[in-house]
Amino acid sequence: MGAGTGASETALSPDEARTAARAWLSDHWAGVDDENWRRALVTSGWAAPTWPVGRYGRGLSRPSARAAAAEFDAAGAPGACVETAPFHDNPWMYLLGNTLLAHGGQAVCDRYLPRLLTGSLTHGCLLYSEPGAGSDLASLQTRAELVGEGEYLVNGQKIWTTGGQEAQFGLLLARTDWDAPKHAGLTFFVIDMDSPGIEIRPIRQITGDAEFNEVFLTDVPVPADAVIGAPGEGWRVLQVALAAERAGMGAAARGRAEGKAAAGTSDLAVLRAVADDLVEAARAAGRLNDTVVRDELVKILSWRLTNTWTGDRAAAEIRRGPSSLASLGKLAASRVLHAGTDFAYRMQGRASLVYDVDDPLAYPVDRALMFAFINSIGGGSDQIQRNIIGERVLGLPKGYEPDRGVPFRDVRKGSATRPVSQEKRP
């Protein structure tokens, strides 16, 4: 498939974009949403008009794209402007899309972007963390070796892989150079998850369910043009994918807060609504008038509110450039989540001891109590967040780094842990 050859107009105003969209629609939209239609959208650049020309886009500004999207909506023609959908509609549009646009060569873009845009590529997974490389991700040891012409063989083990079972593709960070210092020897790949040599095993977690996986890679063949960026530039490429992930999570958190706000009828109602669950828990326990309970409740309410407001300020800051406030949100959320779930757990009293899926009150509280650790551990633990804030925001000196500038093969490696999955993939 050609790379958006029909799209040459750039910097169209919203009005011009609207006219262009209308003209294109009258030539191409026959009222049938099928494979041909989706392919036409992709080749024409209307599937993702804000993406660059030559990368399946038309190089339109967001306002122009919105104007065009309105034309497609009015015509009842689906599948246009899918690249601007909210993060959680299809996170891979951002995680894979942004990364390919920033660093992908033509071949790898041609292999993945059209399918992403037609909606046939919807499930991916992240193959970053390893048993020996969690907080210290750059010390990962999965090995990608160039064997003969144009092919790598990948060997290693990844962990905490969400959605591994359903994934069509995986974003893989692997080591290609063991003589370079740890950050410099990494390469970023996008691999097909139906490749031979990939074994996925679910990890049972604290709640008893299995939402994460271990992924074992044994002599997995990966074509050389599946590299995104250049070999050895993996760490830099990863930052694009990580930024997309964090932005998406931030947007989701703000979305939730705004959803709550919308439920209120006045400013005051908005403030009140933020702790409805805690108020309800205290009332059910008959303790809403207990001064100690009230004090604790209002503390948590304050943390929730202020964290939302900090998020709002961060969002405004991000629009103007790099934001230091954005680094604080996840750390503050840990306090909010642990304190809130602890409060609800205690308010329920001994009812909390029962863990029964059919119990509409205690069960969600117990699960929330455990899931609060996802925020304080996942996506960079609280301790790592504090390092990032201390070093990147406050400009404090970095601590002693014994592996700085040392060839990776000489570095003291992260200790391997035993496999944690309970069963093999059925």
Q: Give the catalytic positions in this structure.
A: 245
Is residue 205 close enough to count as binding another protein by CB under 8 A? yes
Q: Which of 44, 139, 157, 187 binds another protein (CB under 8 A)?
A: 139
Q: Which of 85, 107, 417, 423 binds another protein (CB under 8 A)?
A: 417
Q: Nearest approach, Cβ of 139 to another protein (angstroms)?
A: 7
Q: Which of 298, 353, 388, 396 binds another protein (CB under 8 A)?
A: 353
Q: Which of 2, 63, 208, 255 binds another protein (CB under 8 A)?
A: 208
H/E stretch holding 332 reads helix 328-347
Is residue 414 close enough to count as binding another protein by CB under 8 A? yes
Is residue 292 close enough to count as binding another protein by CB under 8 A? yes
- Helix or strand or coil: residue 180? coil
- Long-range CB contacts for residues 420-426, cutoff 8 Å, separation at least 24: 420/159, 420/203, 420/204, 420/214, 421/201, 421/202, 421/203, 421/204, 421/213, 421/214, 422/201, 422/202, 422/203, 422/204, 422/210, 423/201, 423/202, 424/199, 424/201, 425/165, 425/199, 425/200, 425/201, 425/202
Q: Nearest approach, Cβ of 402 to another protein (angstroms)?
A: 4
Total interface residues for another protein by CB under 8 A: 55
- Helix or strand or coil: residue 117? helix
Q: Which of 383, 388, 391, 425 binds another protein (CB under 8 A)?
A: 383
Say how far apart CA 278 and CA 296 lie, in whole Å.
Answer: 10
Is residue 71 close enough to count as binding another protein by CB under 8 A? no
Q: Nearest approach, Cβ of 28 to another protein (angstroms)?
A: 48
Is residue 386 close enough to count as binding another protein by CB under 8 A? yes
Decide whether 136 or 280 has the Cβ nearer to another protein: 136
Say how far apart CA 153 and CA 146 lie, in whole Å.
Answer: 7
Is residue 329 close enough to count as binding another protein by CB under 8 A? no
Is residue 393 close enough to count as binding another protein by CB under 8 A? no
Binding part of the chain for another protein, among 24-32, 38-46, 217-225, 363-371 by CB under 8 A, reads: 363-371
Is residue 147 close enough to count as binding another protein by CB under 8 A? no
Task: Give, in order, the Cα–Cα distances in Å from 115 to each of 11, 35, 47, 169.
Answer: 26, 11, 11, 12
Say how far apart CA 100 and CA 373 lie, in whole Å.
Answer: 32
For the chain, what's the residue count?
426
Is residue 5 close enough to count as binding another protein by CB under 8 A? no
Binding part of the chain for another protein, among 71-79, 166-174, 192-200, 201-209 by CB under 8 A, reads: 201-209
Is residue 159 close enough to count as binding another protein by CB under 8 A? yes
DSSP string, 245-292: HHHHHHHHHHHHHHHHHHH-SSHHHHHHHTTHHHHHHHHHTT-TT-HH
Is residue 403 close enough to count as binding another protein by CB under 8 A? yes
Is residue 425 close enough to count as binding another protein by CB under 8 A? no
Decide whether 253 or 377 has the Cβ nearer to another protein: 377
Burial of residue 36 (number of CB atoms within 10 Å: 0-12, 13-18, 19+): exposed
Identify the CA nearest to 421 among candidates 214, 273, 240, 236. Answer: 214
Which residues contact another protein by CB under 8 A?
129, 132-136, 139, 159-160, 203-206, 208, 212, 292-293, 338, 345-346, 349-350, 352-356, 358, 366, 369-370, 373-374, 376-378, 381-383, 386-387, 399, 401-403, 406, 411-415, 417-418, 420, 422
